[in-house]
Chains A and B, each alone.
Chain A
Amino acid sequence: MIRHLLSAADLDAATATQILDTAAEMATVAGREVKKLPALRGRTVVNLFYEDSTRTRISFEAAAKRLSADVINFSAKGSSVTKGESLKDTALTLQAMGADAVVVRHPASGAPHRLADWVDGSVVNAGDGTHEHPTQALLDAYTMRSRLGRLAGLHVAVVGDVLHSRVARSNVLLLSTLGAKVTLVGPPTLIPVDIAAALAPGTDVSYDLDVVLPDVDVVMMLRVQRERMKDSYFPSAREYARRYGLDGPRMRRLPEHAIVMHPGPMNRGMEITPEVADSPRSTIVEQVANGVSVRMAVLYLLLGGNKL
């Protein structure tokens, strides 16, 4: 097993599949009366969050606690971080406290890589800047596999602000590792340069959502910040929604079996309409539940926990 999970590129197909299979076992715990395993008893997991992200933090916290780990939440707000302590000094502090794993969310791309140089424990990237969010990609893959029965051969459209999306980068990497095909869809201003060469050859790019929809098994909508229009990425939220938003009529262009995903939090009315978000095709709530199982699997495997 790998020591850190910094990028979805750290995972080969066998390791990724092992995580998804382990997550499926972990999911059975959620159905029990006592939702707890002793696997990581006596181990310490630190949630080091430099960005507000309640959903990701509580997902990791629930995952660690269900494995009986001791959890320390270290939030950038109200800590020494706001007094200007460097990431390195924080890392050395966590090291001295004996953290077995550090789950880090940070606004700067690559911060988890830096952290991994300075601590002995495992580092899990819980989202770094506009780089990656590998556990999100794992929970997305898990959700696709449980809904559609497989990953190899699936065609997944990832739609929206790919340029600023760590979710998109991790998904392209992981899905291609697992044999799915990805088409990135969005306005040209929000598709980063050389994306296929950068991440996974075979990744397609389209600027026309309507053309792509009839041919996909999964459509994953990315959060698009309305403020992006101030930087001229698109003229207005309304024009964005009209061209790239997923509404009812567009959803009906999808094949019968296709599912709709969103990593949350959603901008209802921007990239997705309530009709779509609340439809049976939508896996948005499942994704949240699956997130806990997948993060349990990641922590369990990285920390080499006891037998289940």
Chain B
Amino acid sequence: MADTRTITVTVNGRVCSREVETRLTLADFLRHELNLTGTHVGCEHGVCGACTVLVGGVSARACLMLAVQCDGREVATVESLADGDELNPLQQAFRDNHGLQCGFCTPGILMTLTEFLRDHPDPGEAEVRDVLSGNLCRCTGYQAIVAATLDAAKRMRGGA
């Protein structure tokens, strides 16, 4: 018999209860149980960072957590960033600077940077590259992502 549990997770402010198999990863829970398909799965071994979400406000690989571990906790995904269809400053800076091409790694990068810019409102390029080293992108060569991040930081500080 499959080992299951009923869990309650607050995802993007919404309380969600589901009965899940205990081996279900957080990434698959978000994508396939809650249909929040913005969180992408790129390697399932914690390297590519495409599945990065915030758990309790802290970035984590959703492929390396089990859904049951989030019982009673808060999770934020890429779907939480925009206000309706209004892009937030980070998203807008990505669009303005061509910080994405195929868009697959983008959600994980946005969540990594959401945490990073919250804690480092005025980063330098080296710090941005350092934090981005936890996310793989095969399209952009990172240059436009770095530019977008610095631009977003400026906007968020009110300097735009």
A, B in one complex: no
Chain A residues proximal to chain B, CB less than 8 Å: none
Chain B residues proximal to chain A, CB less than 8 Å: none
